[in-house]
Amino acid sequence: MWQGGVHAQEFLEACLHLSQIPDHPVAAHDVDLFHTVATVRVPGAMGSLLRHYDALPEGLLEADPAQLSDVLGGPSLIHLPGRRAQPLFVSVLLHGNETTGFMALQAMLQRYQGKELPRALSIFVGNVEAARDGLRRLAGQPDYNRVWPGSDHPDSPEKRMMAEVVDI
């Protein structure tokens, strides 16, 4: 399996089965794996960079990260139901050349094909345009890790998109 993939896949699986979210801060080295848990509300923002899906888009489980721009059409928020209604939030591909998280998520979702997830899952698939080119980010794009609400990054379409993701 790809480097780091086993750990990331096991971490995702463990999070899906959590009956309670820890009330202590997440260790800094796990922030990229475990961002937050949210109550989901699907907004209908016009003009947003963000695509919304309430089921797995066709081709997602078979796609190579470089194909995600064609499969999803842009950064996407995918909501999947599960036995427990409170969703686990997972973000992948904040940098287009960091594909391990996506591949671990893809492998886990393939195992659950045709089965109910243990808990609802909200997935943010970030910089699919950079992933298409195998780059961290494209020229002129901000770093997707630096545009979340509360950051010092100036207003931009990407920062507004991240605010939309947080406001789920």
pLDDT tens digits, one per residue of 104-159 = 999 999 999 999 999 999 999 999 999 999 999 999 999 999 999 999 999 999 99
Residue 48 pLDDT > 70: yes
State the average pLDDT over residues 36-60: 68
Distance CA 97, CA 84 (A): 32
For residue 35, how many other CB atoms are within 10 A of its CB? 18
Average pLDDT, the chain: 84
Distance CA 130, CA 166 (A): 22
The pTM (predicted TM-score) of the whole model is 0.78
Distance CA 17, CA 121 (A): 11
Q: What is the DSSP letter of 121?
A: E
